[in-house]
Amino acid sequence: MWGGRFASGPAEIMEEINASIGFDKRLAPQDIRGSLAHVAMLGAAGILPHGDVAAIQDGLKTVAEEIETGRFEFRRELEDIHMAVESRLTEIVGPAAGRLHTARSRNDQVATDMKLWVRDTLDGLDAQAAELQRALAEKALAHATTVMPGFTHLQSAQPVTFGHHCLAYVEMLARDRGRFRDARARLNECPLGAAALAGTSFPIDRHATAQALGFDRPTANSLDSVADRDFALESLSAASICAVHLSRFAEELVIWTSAQFNFVKLSDGYTTGSSIMPQKRNPDAAELVRAKSGRVIGALTGLLIVMKGLPLAYSKDMQEDKEGTFDALQALSLCLAAMTGMVRDLEPNPDILARAAGSGYATATDLADWLVRELGLPFREAHHVTGRLVGAASAKGVGLEELPLSEMQAAEPRITQAVYAVLGVENSVSSRTSHGGTAPDNVRAQATRWLDALGASGA
């Protein structure tokens, strides 16, 4: 490739640091799609004779078939996927293969390949996130009345339902899917035809290649076209936020499956045992989901650092966009699949959840609200009265619902027997009927709405 300018080949260490074929070979389908669109445009524009166009198209299809069937030899000395495909194409069709690179550069070629790969991957992640949403919404509908403790600071706060908790992650995933789709929409401009950095003097039709590859339009500035990796950064950012959401849920599963909590049980399919302790059931799938968020976030950070000091246009530094992006987005795909499986298989322990929901004076806010609603106390005064009653119950080692009425009235004489109706956890969750609240009717309605919206296709 460098024969016209260089008298000798690269040093061994140069080949070691420069070659990308070991990881960019996964761009082969996208590279061939881009080449097919490019050569078709060259023919339609009269830049290449139709005989060469047909030969190149047939040769590219042969190369694609060899790659798909595992018969293609990826040779390291050819440096990258672009030269690997072109070299094999030359072996198949002869000198006409050299015309394929007319009016393009590896700079716009790799930018196009990467956009196609990221776009395909975002579509897959969106579909996987929809599957996880569906699994969570189904679990929410099944457990709309299953009471559990809600936490702040990992301390028991107020009772909620298990279904309500599941729906919180449905909402998070909805935002994740919105970010995936936003990133996809912004990246959907085609760099092909920007050439090395300045465009080309050939009368190419960039709109035709953009349309052939499913892009909305060609990119507007040739310098930006080859220097841009915003699409990878934005996709990694969306992936990082999604990975954080999955990690938070995974952490809850790790806590909930411990013997001390025993809130839920994971199936054998998503747990492992111990080589020395026969009683152990370890939530390894959840732990690995939690850990892999670091890989995704790390890839985003790494690429930000690569890009931060690069002048326009292309620099070889940008070759470092691939491995991290490939690894991160595929790690997220694996995490989404694992979490979907865990959600479908997990079973809550309703009795344990209900007991935990009533612990820690979780209905204290209900008592304060009752004092405001029924007795007309300002909330701050009701808060102080409730605090005194919690202290009295704690001193006696009983729950608020077990505190005698006489002791209640010692703190606030106007309290009546009716107060006990709000102190049960079931009553508490049923009363939370405000929009977005945990009342079972709310949960059923929201779960049903989500299942209807997701439909069979996860749209």
Q: Which residues are catalytic?
A: 153, 274
| Phi, psi (rounded to 5 degrees) for 298 | -60, -40
